Amino acid sequence: MLYDWATGRYPDLPRSTLLSIAGALVYFMMPLDAIPDPILALGLLDDLGVLATVWQQCRRDISQYEDWLANREAAADE
Per-residue pLDDT tens digits for 11-50: 988 999 999 988 888 888 877 766 666 667 777 788 888 8
Phi/psi for 8 (5° steps) reads 90, 0
Q: Is the pTM of this model over 0.95?
A: no
Range of the domain at 38: 2-77
Number of domains in the chain: 1
Q: How far is CA 22 from CA 13, 17, 58, 64, 74, in A?
A: 13, 8, 12, 18, 29
